[in-house]
A and B are shown apart, each in its own frame.
Chain A
Amino acid sequence: MGNRRAVVVSGARTPFVRAFGKLLKVDTIGLGVSAVGNLLAKTELDRTELDGIVWGGVILPGLAPNVGREIALDLKLPYSVEAYTVTRACASGLQAITNAVAAIERGDADVLIAGGSDSTSNAEIKLPQKVVHAMAPLAFGKATPGDVLGVMSQLVPISEILPKRPRIAERTTGQVMGEAAEEMARRNEISREAQDELAVRSHHRAAAAVRSGRFDDEVFAVELPNGDRVHTDDLIRADTSVEKLERLRPVFSKQGTLTAGNSSPLTDGAAAVLLMSEEKAKALGYTPLAAFRSWSYVGVDPGDQLLMGPALAMPFALERAGMKLGDIGFVDMHEAFAAQVLAVIKMIGSKAFAKERLGRDEAVGDVDMEQLNLHGGSVAIGHPFGATGARMVTTVANELARGDKETALLGICAAGGLGAGAVMERVS
């Protein structure tokens, strides 16, 4: 213990697909089964070596919320492969991974799979609490006709018992996430043009990665119940341009700047990474790709700037790694909205922000836009909430292993005013 280091050995994900589209028939467990199954197949890991699964998810199935364990059982992994599931909004996937890293470095485990999945297409429609409470007499034992009548009499007027569609809204403020990002765009003076440019670059870079085969080692087909297979991401648009995006209408506010083109779409998908202690990886003959040098999770007031968390978490992660932004090879940020990424970058570059919010005399630094999201981000690739962290870690680990950069900085914003940051380094 103490000097143990956890390393990323490999990663795999499903294609990221528009919600209510081709993956409609596969729920979050099924998506996780696909990603983990393909990761095991790709790495040819002896299943008895696997200690456990740490999974991240946001829209958890009500009847089986421990998605990680369901994946292990569905894959017929040894029953000894324990599993648990974490939820931290859009940072759930990264949380699962850092939990696994911590467990390995602490000596609790040698080999873990961590990742996450979400199927917005299979979000459960919630019954209002009034209905749940009224139905209580039917929940226990055998109901008499009188019970049934009693229950029915409580369920009027009908408008109060209609099921509610899930919304991506803050529980405490009621603000929809896009409205929060719109607010951040206004308050940080982020222009529509800058957002559209970032979105276009995200699409072009993701498309280039697909074209060059860069993702071939990361994306594996999902088999549908009818035997068909879904092979590729379907949200990336190689042919998009600022001219095309500027024609789109704002969606969250009439005078706003956020459009469907510069926001991340609702997406179905899963991603997983294989983590081992460095010794174990060596013993099993794997070549490690990368390791974590530090991470940080933060919380801010969700009623203020909901998605600014990374502007604090990224500097804190750098500090814990003993590094400055200038030392970092490249940056990978989750693009919930282009506006949110640009607002966070502006904060990080601001001396005034550093002084007031971080208690530092100098700005954290300017993010080199050329070195940001080298292979695209969530605006282009899509954002299955729980899966994004593992997608980013996989792509970053591969980039560190293949490229000439030593370190990378990750940043993820999340609902509830949460933010995550992490520093990853090459293992050589």
Chain B
Amino acid sequence: MSDFLLELSKNPNARNVIKSLGLPIPMPQALARARGPWEERPLANQKVVVGVSSGAQLAGVIAETLAKAGADPLLAGPGHDEALWQAPGEAYGRPATTLPDPAPERLIAHGVVMDATGLSTPSDLGALHDLFHPLVGRISRSGRAIVLARPHLASGDPARAATQRALEGFVRALAKEIGRRGATAHVIYVDEGAEARLPALLRYLLSNRSAFLSGQPWHLTASAAKGGGTDVEVPITRPLEKKVALVTGAARGIGAATARLLAAEGAHVVCLDRPEDDGPVSQVARELGGSVLLQDVSAPDAGAKIAAALREAHGGVDVVVHNAGVTRDRTLAKMKRDKWDMTLDINLGAVLAIDEALLADGALRDGGRIICLSSVAGIAGNMGQTNYAASKAGIIGYVEALAPTVAARGITVNAIAPGFIETRLTDAIPAVIREVGRRLSNLGQGGLPRDIGDLVTFLASPGAQGLTGRTLRACGGAFIGA
């Protein structure tokens, strides 16, 4: 399971030798990942450069978010409204300073954030070049580039639509350019009225809990009602306090990592796996102080049994993570019907059945979360995975359709599409193919199970209320996929 090149790249001498010899070996940058539970100030003492387009609308939100997260803001380029930066700077002791032009030679910034909401015509896009061109080399290892935008169709103006949509292409390409040093890029499309939901996502993407996500558009909406109907402030630390979370397939791999991370943020985690996996799943549950539910998710009465068990023990559930899944790979020509059925039953059919049961009797509480595991295979298809790809693409359609039906209750429904993640599943891939799979992403390496767990945890948190009906890739910007 160990990635030889990644281990080698951690040795500075080896790095230098390979670099100076000019060997054609890709040297992935080890990603900075967070330790311990969510911090109050994930960006403590990090420099973040901020640029704004004229007519930009989100600079105030950026100012507030950066100051609270502990970042030192540097204002680049024209058009800044200094008044917006005054109060947060004073309250948190993070005064914004103006970045000299040209930038000081030794400047290395953790992040560059651009509020591009004001860009309306293709010629305005020059502002992207103005801001990023001089700074692209100054983004640190495991740094971040983030562009804020408005949904391109919102205004009905074709020129503005073209301009705002252009940002996605820019970010995807930028992600490939800066990925070699472990840095990532994102664009966040913020609906009118969803501005209050931006800080949590911005904080998350700038933090090193989003290490393996890159080159992706995020769409924030106000469609899901406020969680639980209450107007409470979104908690910054221990966001899952008093929440009950169900994780299927929690015995190992992504499920176990996710269960640990959810528990670390205060959730009581019900670890579900097959009765045969009693040993490992019990061990996980014991370790994190959760409970065990032994159930085959594809059994006909699984949904009813799970709903009843959650109701009885906890009065309901707040977060449901459909992680249990199988692969039964064969080319379609050679695939037996039972392999097809098993894959679709567990990966897709069971998810629908369990959710139906949880929603029907109200076991899933208001403000709840449904988080499904899709796959980049479901987006792009994989040789020998017709069954698997069908099941995982089905998940994408499912979350899109389910989300609006539960939005009024404040429940969000999303899917995560992992790329190459170092697990038992990917360990079984033949060595050469595995090596290619690892390298074929912007970051040049596979992700860890916790990278998926980190995204699950964010989606489970109250701050993620603005994301629903989406499939989010966690693939390091895989070469394949959308």
B441 CB to nearest chain A CB (Å): 34
| Of the residues B86, B87, B95, contact of A187 by C-beta under 8 Å | B95
| Of the residues A187, A301, A308, A343, contact of B40 by C-beta under 8 Å | A301
Contacting residues of chain B (84-141) with chain A, CB-CB under 8 angstroms: 86-95
Contact with B along A129-164 (1 / 0, CB 8 A): 000000000000000000000000000000000000
| Of the residues A188, A304, A343, A353, contact of B70 by C-beta under 8 Å | A304
B437 CB to nearest chain A CB (Å): 39
Contacting residues of chain A (351-365) with chain B, CB-CB under 8 angstroms: 351-353, 355-357
Contact of A305 with B90 in the complex, beta carbons under 8 Å: no
A312 CB to nearest chain B CB (Å): 12
Q: Given contacts A301-B40, A304-B44, is CB(A352)–CB(B70) below 8 Å?
A: no
Which residue on B lies nearest to A349, using beta carbons?
Answer: B90
Contact of B90 with A350 in the complex, beta carbons under 8 Å: yes
| Of the residues A303, A305, A351, A355, contact of B93 by C-beta under 8 Å | A305
A-B contact pairs, 9 of them (CB 8 A): A189-B95, A304-B44, A304-B70, A308-B93, A346-B90, A350-B91, A352-B87, A353-B91, A356-B87
Contact of A184 with B93 in the complex, beta carbons under 8 Å: yes
CA distance A364 to B458 in the complex (A): 36
Contact of B88 with A187 in the complex, beta carbons under 8 Å: no
Say yes or no: is B41 at the interface (Cβ < 8 Å to chain A).
yes
CA distance A303 to B93 in the complex (A): 13
Size of the A side of the interface (Cβ < 8 Å), in residues, is 19
| Of the residues B41, B90, B95, contact of A304 by C-beta under 8 Å | B41
Which residue on A lies nearest to B87, using beta carbons?
Answer: A352
Contact with A along B258-296 (1 / 0, CB 8 A): 000000000000000000000000000000000000000
A358 CB to nearest chain B CB (Å): 10
Contact of A355 with B44 in the complex, beta carbons under 8 Å: no
CA distance A189 to B86 in the complex (A): 12
Residues of A within 8 A of B93 (CB): 184, 187-188, 304-305, 308, 343, 347
Residues of B within 8 A of A308 (CB): 93
Residues of B within 8 A of A301 (CB): 40-41
Q: Given contacts A304-B41, A304-B44, is CB(A352)–CB(B95) below 8 Å?
A: no
Which residue on A lies nearest to B45, using beta carbons?
Answer: A183
CA distance A189 to B97 in the complex (A): 11
Contact of A355 with B95 in the complex, beta carbons under 8 Å: no
Band of interface residues on B? 10 to 19
A311 CB to nearest chain B CB (Å): 10
A contacts with B: majority SS: helix
B434 CB to nearest chain A CB (Å): 40
Of residues B88, B90, B95, which shows the largest number of chain A Cβ atoms within 10 Å of its Cβ? B90
Contact with B along A189-203 (1 / 0, CB 8 A): 100000000000000
Contact of B94 with A352 in the complex, beta carbons under 8 Å: no
Residues of A within 8 A of B87 (CB): 351-352, 355-356
| Of the residues B40, B44, B86, contact of A352 by C-beta under 8 Å | B86
| Of the residues A189, A303, A343, A357, contact of B91 by C-beta under 8 Å | A357
Task: State the A residues within 8 Å of B (CB).
Answer: 184, 187-189, 301, 303-305, 308, 343, 346-347, 350-353, 355-357
Residues of B within 8 A of A189 (CB): 95
Q: Which 6 A-B pairs have the closest CB atoms?
A: A352-B87, A187-B93, A356-B91, A352-B91, A352-B90, A350-B90
CA distance A145 to B106 in the complex (A): 60
Which residue on B lies nearest to A304, using beta carbons?
Answer: B41
Residues of B within 8 A of A355 (CB): 87, 91
Residues of B within 8 A of A353 (CB): 90-91
Contact with A along B383-406 (1 / 0, CB 8 A): 000000000000000000000000
Residues of B within 8 A of A304 (CB): 40-41, 44, 70, 93
Contact with A along B27-57 (1 / 0, CB 8 A): 0000000000000110010000000000000
Which residue on A lies nearest to B40, using beta carbons?
Answer: A301
A253 CB to nearest chain B CB (Å): 14
Residues of A within 8 A of B41 (CB): 301, 303-304
Residues of A within 8 A of B94 (CB): 187
CA distance A353 to B90 in the complex (A): 6
CA distance A346 to B89 in the complex (A): 12
| Of the residues A184, A347, A352, contact of B88 by C-beta under 8 Å | A352
| Of the residues A303, A343, A351, contact of B44 by C-beta under 8 Å | A303
B76 CB to nearest chain A CB (Å): 20
CA distance A346 to B91 in the complex (A): 10
B73 CB to nearest chain A CB (Å): 12
CA distance A184 to B41 in the complex (A): 16
Which residue on A lies nearest to B72, using beta carbons?
Answer: A187
CA distance A301 to B86 in the complex (A): 23
CA distance A350 to B94 in the complex (A): 14
B96 CB to nearest chain A CB (Å): 11
Which residue on A lies nearest to B94, using beta carbons?
Answer: A187
Which residue on A lies nearest to B68, using beta carbons?
Answer: A356
Residues of B within 8 A of A347 (CB): 93
Residues of B within 8 A of A351 (CB): 87
CA distance A346 to B92 in the complex (A): 12
Contacting residues of chain B (214-263) with chain A, CB-CB under 8 angstroms: none
Residues of B within 8 A of A352 (CB): 86-91
B43 CB to nearest chain A CB (Å): 12
A401 CB to nearest chain B CB (Å): 38
Give 13 new A-B contacts, CB below 8 A, not counting A346-B90, A347-B93. A184-B93, A187-B94, A187-B95, A188-B93, A188-B95, A304-B41, A304-B70, A350-B90, A351-B87, A352-B86, A352-B90, A355-B91, A356-B91
Contact of B92 with A356 in the complex, beta carbons under 8 Å: yes
Residues of B within 8 A of A303 (CB): 41, 44
A346 CB to nearest chain B CB (Å): 8
CA distance A343 to B86 in the complex (A): 16
CA distance A325 to B41 in the complex (A): 30
Residues of A within 8 A of B44 (CB): 303-304
CA distance A346 to B86 in the complex (A): 13
Residues of B within 8 A of A343 (CB): 93
B242 CB to nearest chain A CB (Å): 22
Residues of A within 8 A of B91 (CB): 350, 352-353, 355-357
B75 CB to nearest chain A CB (Å): 15
CA distance A357 to B95 in the complex (A): 16
CA distance A316 to B453 in the complex (A): 40
CA distance A353 to B40 in the complex (A): 17
B266 CB to nearest chain A CB (Å): 19
